Amino acid sequence: MMKKLLIGLFALSVNVLPAMAAGPSVPLMEAGNDISDQPSLQRGAKLFMNYCLGCHQMQYQRYERTFRDIGIPTEIGQEQLIFDGSKVGSHINNAMKKEDAAKWFGAAPPDLTNVARVRGSDWIYTYLKSFYKDESRPFGVNNTLFPSVGMPHVLQELQGVPTAITEEVTVDGKTTTHITGTETDGTGELSVDEYDQAVRDLTNFLEYVGEPTRLESEALGIKVLGFLVILFILAFMLKKEYWRDVH
């Protein structure tokens, strides 16, 4: 398992980190996640299974662990969120072959188990809100945060068709056009606020998957700190008792 995890992290760094280094300086939007919000995690899981799993795997995360952590009964999760007949104890994989994915998209879509730990939640949130229509691209869209992106805008039916907001900037007599943001045409299934919440939910879910034990670790950490405080007080009182007659 550890060997697979290390191989996965290496593969993710090969596919993802160079793109991060080469990306433009775009201000990141604040995701404002809360991985203790189970309803949000449940909505995010539904979005991932319906819109992302066809291309992106989570090969280090199991369905059963996910359902248990985010409060989805196993029977409901198996019925509504497992579409390929996998067992509930299986890892979250898809059937796409890497060779075919590389042919279709230019590179195999990376595994997303640890994407939030590598890129950060704000990056994911900003990326999902930064697609815009660009007919020159193979899938008809581009991304202000990740230019020349090879991924289609899979959430377009929810958001609607996004277009770029541009402004012309003149420096030293040269005028260039800069993209300052995006706006939707309103044809999506969700309103602007609803789409924003959907993206937050999906980002929240990806952050949880990156570190499923974080809430448990934080709770345990508080208990350990409390124990150390009590131990320090007892040790200090014992020290005073031992040294009382010496002085």
Q: Kindly state the average pLDDT of the residues 176-201.
A: 92
pLDDT at 140: 94
> Distance (Å, rounded) from C-alpha 199 to C-alpha 70?
17
Whether 111 shows a pLDDT value over 70: the answer reads yes
Q: How far is CA 86 from the centre of its chain?
A: 23
% of the chain beyond a pLDDT of 90: 63
Phi, psi angles (nearest 5°) of residue 188: -75, 165
CB half-sphere exposure, 36, CA atoms < 13 A: 6
Whether 22 shows a pLDDT value over 80: the answer reads no
Task: List the structure tokens of 233.
Answer: 């007080």
* Total Cβ atoms within 10 A of residue 129: 22
Asked if residues 190 and 159 have their Cβ atoms less than 8 Å apart, the reply is yes
pLDDT band at 18 (very low <50, low <70, confident <90, very high): very low
Whether 145 shows a pLDDT value over 70: the answer reads yes
pLDDT at 193: 95
Q: Among the listed ranges 136-140, 168-172, 181-185, which one has the minimum average pLDDT value?
A: 168-172
56 is in an annotated binding site: yes
More confident residue, 8 or 130: 130
Whether 19 shows a pLDDT value over 80: the answer reads no
Question: Which run of H or E residues covers position 170?
Answer: strand 162-171
178 is in an annotated binding site: no
Global pTM reads 0.79
pLDDT at 167: 86
153 is in an annotated binding site: no
Of 37, 45, 32, 196, nearest in space to 121 by CA: 32
pLDDT at 25: 64
Phi, psi angles (nearest 5°) of residue 133: -65, 130
> Distance (Å, rounded) from C-alpha 109 to C-alpha 86?
21
Whether 6 shows a pLDDT value over 80: the answer reads no
Q: Which residues pair with 166 in a beta bridge?
A: 179
The residue type of 169 is V
> Distance (Å, rounded) from C-alpha 56 to C-alpha 109?
6
